[in-house]
Structure 1
Amino acid sequence: MTSSTTTASPSQPAPVRPATRTGLLLAVVLGAQFMAVLDASIVNVAIPSMHADLGADGAGLQLILAGYVIAYAVLLVTGARLGDRLGQRTMFVTGLTAFSAASLACGLAWSTEVLIAFRFVQGAGAAMMVPQVMTLIQVTFAGEARGRALSLYAAVISGGAVVGQVFGGLIVSSDVGGTQWRGVFLVNVPIGLLLLALAPRVLPGGSARPGHRLDLRGLALLTPTVLLLVVPLVLGHEEDWPLWGWVMLAASAVLLAAFVAVERRVEASGGAALFPGRVLRARGLVPAAAGQFLVMSTFSASLFTMAIHLQSALGYTALHAGLLFIPMAGCFAVASMTWRRVPMRHHARMIPAGLVLAAASLVAMGVLLRDGRGFGVAALVVFGVMGLGFGAAFSPLMAVALGRVPLVEAADASGFVTTLVQLGNVVGVATFGTLYLTRADDGVRHASAEAIEVTDLAQAGAIVVAACLAWLATRPAPAPAAVPDPV
C-alpha cells in the first residue's frame, strides 16, 4: 500500500478546519453511524417482549427485524446521490430527523403493523444520513487525519453491532418506566436531538453540486434490483423458501443486467451514471470494495449465528451472550485504531494477513464448539484473535478503497462502497444464517454446535477469498514503460 491510500488527491485538497471543529464533526457523523448500526441489532433481544405485548406472529416479527434493513439497503445509493446533488449537510440532517422521529414513533407504536411501517421509515432515514458520513470524512480529512477517522469509523461499525446486543439486553431487562421493548427505540430520541442541535453548526455547507444531474433511469432500475435481491434473502428462510422468492432472485439478476446496460449508455452520452466508470476504474477500488463485502458478510453472520447458538442451544441470557462478544469487538477496535503504527512498507501484507488470521480463528472456533461445550476461556481468546484479524484488515482496506478517489467523486465512491458493505450485512446473515439454521435443530445443543462448525468453515472460505481480493487491491501500481531516447 502506498501513501496514496490515505491522502487526498493533490488537485483536490481537503479543506483545513480547526481541530476542535473537525473533532465535533467526526463525533456527530460517527454518532449517527453508531445509531444506524446499533438499530440493526438492538431489536433482536426485544423480540420476545414484542411478541408478548403486541401479539405479533412469526411473519410480523420477521418484518419488524427486516423492514429496517430492507429500506436501508435499498435506498442507500439514492441517499448518496441526493447528498451529492443537494449537499451532504442537508441530506444528513434530513435523514437524522426522519430516523429520530421514526424511532419515537416505533417506541409509541400500538400495533405490529404500525411498528413495521415505522421501521421502514427508520431504515429510509438511515439510508439518507449514512452515505453522507463517509463522504464528509473524505472531504474533511486528509493524510493521517483521514486514516484516523476511517479507523474510528471501522470501530463504530464493529462496536455498534455488539453493543446493540448488550445494550438491548440491558434496556429490556431494566424495563425503565415499564417501557419493556419500547426502550430500544426511545433511546435514539435524546441522542438524535443532541446530534440535530450540533449538526447544522459543525457540518460544512456548500458541498452540493446543483448541475450534477440525478440519474433517474439508473435509480429506477437499481432500487427494484436491490429490493428483489434483499427481500427473499431476508424472508426466505422464515417462509421456507417459497417460489416467489426464487422468482424475485431471478428477476433481480435480469434487472441488474439491464441496469449495467443503461448505465453504460448514460455514461457514453455524457450523463451522470450512478457508478461512473472513472470512479470504478480507480486503482484498487473494486477489489477492495468486494473484499469489504465479504468481510462484512462473515462478520455480521458470525455475530448472528453465534448469538443464536449461545442463547438457544447453550441457554445463555441475551445479556450474557452479548457480553461474550466484548473481546471480539474490543480487539477489532484496538486493531482498527492502531494499524497506522505499523510501518507503511508492511501495510500491503498486513491486510491479507489479518484476513487469514480471521479465517484461521473461525476454523478454530468451529473446532472448539463442535462437541457442544460451553463458551469458555479458550473460545474468548479465539474471539479476541478473530477481532484482531478483522480489525487489521477492515480500516486499511477501506483506506485502499477510497483513498485513491478524487474528492470530487467522493459521494459516488462512498455510495458504492457503503452499499456493498450494507448489502454484505444482509447477504451474510441470509446465506450463512440460513446454512446454520437449516443444519441446527432448534434448542438441540449438539446439532447447533455441529451447525456452527460447518458455518464457520464456510465463512473461513469466504474470508480467504477476501484476502485474495485484498492482495489484488494493494498491489503497487505498475511502473510506467520506459520511453526510448530519440535517435
Structure 2
Amino acid sequence: MSQTAAVSSPATAGTQKGRAGGLLLTIILVGQFLAILNVNIVNVAIPTIESDLHSSGAGLQLIAAGYTIVYAVLLITGARVGDLFGYRNAFLGGLTVFTIATLGAGLAPSTTWLVAARLLQGAGAAMMLPQVMTLIQRNYRGAARGRALGLWSLVISGGVVIGQALGGVLLGLGLGWRILFLALAPIGLLLLAVGARVLPTDAGGGRAGLDPGGLVSLAAAVLLFVGPLVLGRDLGWPVWGWVAMGLSVVMFVVFVRIERWVTARGRRPLVDARVLRAPGMRPGLVTQLFGPATWGAFLFTSALHLQGDLHLTPLSSGMMLVPCALAYAAVGLAWPRLPARLQRPLVPVGFVVAAPSYLGLGFFASGGVAYAVTSALIGAGLGVLVAVTTMATEHVDSAYASDASGALLTVMQLGQVIGISTVGTLFISLQSRTDGSASLLSSIAMAALAVVAGLGSLFLVRRRAA
C-alpha cells in the first residue's frame, strides 16, 4: 500500500462535504476491506479445501500465501500505475481484476485453478489498494481528512484480524468453502457499479516510471526464497531448492544495485536508498517483517491445529480466534487515545506480551478457555503494530513519504508470507506425530520471531530517544 498521495496536492473540489464525500469514502474503504480480508479469510477453510480438492501441503500453502506474495511484490508498482494512468482508473481496474478472480476462486474445480485465482486476486488488490490513500488525500481536507485516515488505518488492522473469524462464521452456514469467495464477488460488482459513477476523474500522467528492473529482481528474490520453502517438503527437499534459496540472496543484491543505478540516473526506483537511511526506518522494517511473520504463521497453523488435530468445526475454529481479533482491535482503537509519552515505550511491551503468549500455545494446545485467552493476549500484544509505520516514517522527508510507507507495508506482507512458508512448513511436517511436537515447536518458532520483532521495536524507540 504505497501511499503515493502522501505528497500530492489535494483536489480543490471539497468532496468531503455532503453525501458524495461519504459515499466516496465508503466505496474505497469497503474495497480496501475486501482486499485485506482476503489475506486471512481462507485460512480457516484450509482443512476443508484439503479434503475437497485433495490438495497437497504445498498447494495449501500456495492457496494461503500466494495472494500475499503477488500482492506484496506488486504493491509499490500498483501505486505507480495510479500515478501514470489515473487513480480512479487504477482503483476500478484493480477492483475489476480482484472481483473476477474472486468469482473464479469460488468456482475453482482444482487446487491449481484456486492457486491461480488467488494469485490474480493479489494482482488486483495490489493495483487497487495504493489508490485508496491517494483518493483520500486528494479529496478530503482538514478534520474530514483526519477522520478518513483514521478509518483507513482501522480498516487495515481490522481486516487482517477479522478475516479468519469471519471465515469461520461463513463456513458455519454449511455452504462449503466456496462461500468465502462467492459471497464477496457480488459486493465487488456493486462497488464497481457505484464507483464508476462516484469516483472523481483524474488525468494521471505522472512522471514516475514503473522500474521494471527493480520489480523483476525483487519478485525473483522473493519467489526463489519462498518457492522452495513451500514446495520443498512434498518434493523431499531437493538440491535445487537449496540452490534457489541461495540465489534469492544474489537476486536481492541485484535488486539493491538496480535501485542504486535507477536513482543515479535521476529516475524513481521502487525503493529509494535515501528512505532506508532515515532514522528509524531500518528498525521499523525489522519490526514490520518479523511481527507480521508471527501473525501469518499463527493464523495458518491455528486453523490446521484446531480443525485437524482437535476436530473442531470451521465455525468453532473461527470463534476460537474471536478473542484474539477483539483484543487486537481494542488495542488499535485505544492507541490514539493514549498519552503521547506512553505510546512509544509501550510498543516493545506489546512484544513482551506476545512472545510468551506464543509459547503458551504449545502448552495449551488442547484448546478450550486457556487457548482462547492465550490467543487474546497475542492479539493484544500485536495490536501495537498499528503504531510502527508512523514511528518509523516520522523522520522521512515528505518527498519520500510514499516510498517509506510502501516499503514498510510491502515488508509487512512479505513477513506474513515468510511466516506461513517457514512455520507452516514446520507444522505440516510434524502434524502426523501424536506427541504434540507440531504445536510445541511451531509455538517456539513464533515466539522466537516475536522476540526479534521486539528487539527491532526497542531500537525503534531508542532511536527517537537519542
- More displaced stretch, 70-79 vs 324-333: 70-79
Map of 2:410 onto structure 1: 419
Aligned residue in 1 for 2:160: 158
The correspondence for 2:373, drawn from 381, 392, 400, is 381
Match of 1:285 in 2: 281
- What is the one-letter code of the residue matched to 2:448? G
Residue 288 of structure 1 and its aligned partner are, at CA, apart by 1.5
Determine the C-alpha separation between the residues in 2 that align with 1:233 and 1:431: 7
C-alpha deviation, 1:343, in angstroms = 0.3
Secondary structure at the aligned position of 1:155 is classed as helix
Question: Which of residues 295, 301, 310 is equivalent to 2:297?
Answer: 301
- Cα pair 2:229 2:425 within 8 Å, conserved: no
Change (3 A) 1:64 1:341: closer
Decide whether aligned partners of structure 1 residues 56 and 359 sit closer, same or farther in structure 2, where only a CA change above 3 A counts. Answer: closer
* Distance 1:151-1:335 versus aligned 2 partners, 3 A rule: farther
Q: Report the counterpart of residue 352 of structure 1 in structure 2.
A: 348
Match of 2:387 among 389, 393, 396: 396
Shift of 1:76: 2.6
Match of 2:440 in 1: 453
Return the alpha-carbon distance in structure 1 between the equivalents of residues 57 and 453 of structure 2: 35
Q: Indicate the residue corresponding to 2:228 in structure 1.
A: 232
Bigger shift: 217-226 or 185-194?
A: 217-226
Q: Which residue of 1 aligns with 2:329?
A: 333
Match of residue 424 from structure 2 = 433
Write out aligned runs for 1:93-108 (5 A): 93-108=92-107
Alignment partners' CA distance in 2, 1:417 and 1:472: 16
Equivalent residues of 1:228, 1:248 under 8 A apart: yes
Q: Which moved more, 1:457-466 or 1:235-244?
A: 235-244
Change (3 A) 1:148 1:56: closer
Q: Report which stretch shifted further, 154-163 or 267-276.
A: 154-163
Q: How has the CA–CA distance of structure 1 residues 45 and 466 changed in structure 2, closer, same or farther, with 3 Å as cutoff?
A: closer
> Any idea what SS the aligned residue of 1:210 has?
coil
Could you report, residue by residue, the CA deviation over 1:65-98 in whole angstroms, capped at 9, with x for unpaired residues? Answer: 4543443333233223323333333222111110
Equivalent position of 2:357 in the other structure: 361
| CA distance in 1 between partners of 2:211 and 2:419 (Å) | 29
| Higher Cα radius of gyration | 1
| AA in 1 matched with 2:74 | L
Matches within 5 A, 1:127-276: 127-136=126-135, 145=147, 148-149=150-151, 151-171=153-173, 173=174, 175=175, 180-200=176-196, 203=199, 205-206=201-202, 208=204, 210-276=206-272
- SS in structure 2 at match of 1:321: helix
**How has the CA–CA distance of structure 1 residues 476 and 54 changed in structure 2, closer, same or farther, with 3 Å as cutoff?**
closer
- What secondary structure does 2:210 align onto? coil
Residue 52 of structure 1 and its aligned partner are, at CA, apart by: 6.3
Q: Is the 8 A contact 2:224 2:247 kept in 1?
A: yes
Tell whether the 8 Å contact from 2:46 to 2:303 is kept in structure 1 after alignment. Answer: no
* Shift in alpha-carbon separation, 1:232–1:161, aligned structure 2, 3 A: farther
1:150-203 Cα offsets, whole Å, 9 max, x none, are 5403432432432353144235x1x2xxxx443222112111122223434555
Deviation, 1:336, is 0.6
Secondary structure of the residue aligned to 2:33 is: helix
State the 1:400 CA deviation: 1.9
Retained in 2: the 8 A contact 1:39–1:164? no
CA distance in 1, matches of 2:394, 2:10: 12
1:347-383 residue CA offsets vs partner (Å, 9 max, x unmatched): 11011111211123223333333xxxx3222332222
Amino acid at match of 2:335: W
Q: Who is 1:342 aligned against? A: 338
**Deviates further, 22-31 or 295-304:** 22-31
1:362 partner amino acid: Y
Give, in whole Å, the separation in 1 of the partners of 2:194 and 2:282.
35
Partner of 1:18: 16
Q: Quickly say closer, same or farther: Cα 1:211–1:348, change in 2 above 3 A.
A: same
Partner amino acid for 2:338?
V
2:285 and 2:411 in contact (8 A); partners too: yes
> Any conservation in 1 of the 2:29–2:155 contact (CA below 8 Å)?
yes
Q: What does the per-residue CA deviation read over 1:36-61, in whole Å, with 9 as the maximum and x for residues that have no partner?
A: 23334333454566566666666656
Gap change, CA 1:157 and 1:46, over 3 Å in 2? closer
C-alpha distance in structure 2 between counterparts of 1:214 and 1:169, whole Å = 40
Cα displacement (A) at 1:344 = 0.5
Structure 1 residues 220 and 63: CA distance shift in structure 2, 3 A:
closer
2:456 maps to a residue whose letter is: L
Contact 1:83-1:411 within 8 A present in 2 as well = no
2:79 is aligned with what amino acid? A
| Offset from partner CA, 1:114-158 (integer Å, 9 cap, x none) | 444333322221221233345556665778547623540343243
CA apart distance, 1:474: 3.3
The answer for the alignment partner of 1:3 in structure 2 is none
CA distance in 2, matches of 1:310, 1:114: 26
Using the size of structure 2 for normalisation, the TM-score is 0.86
1:204-256 CA-to-partner distances (Å, cap 9, x unmatched) read 55484522223222223222222222322333334333223222212221111
1:104 is matched by which residue type in structure 2?
A: L
Q: Secondary structure at the match of 1:239?
A: coil
- What is the aligned-residue RMSD (CA, Å)? 3.2
Give me the identity figure in percent.
41
Counterpart among 289, 312, 316 of residue 316 in structure 1: 312
TM normalised by structure 1 equals: 0.82
Amino acid at match of 2:390: A
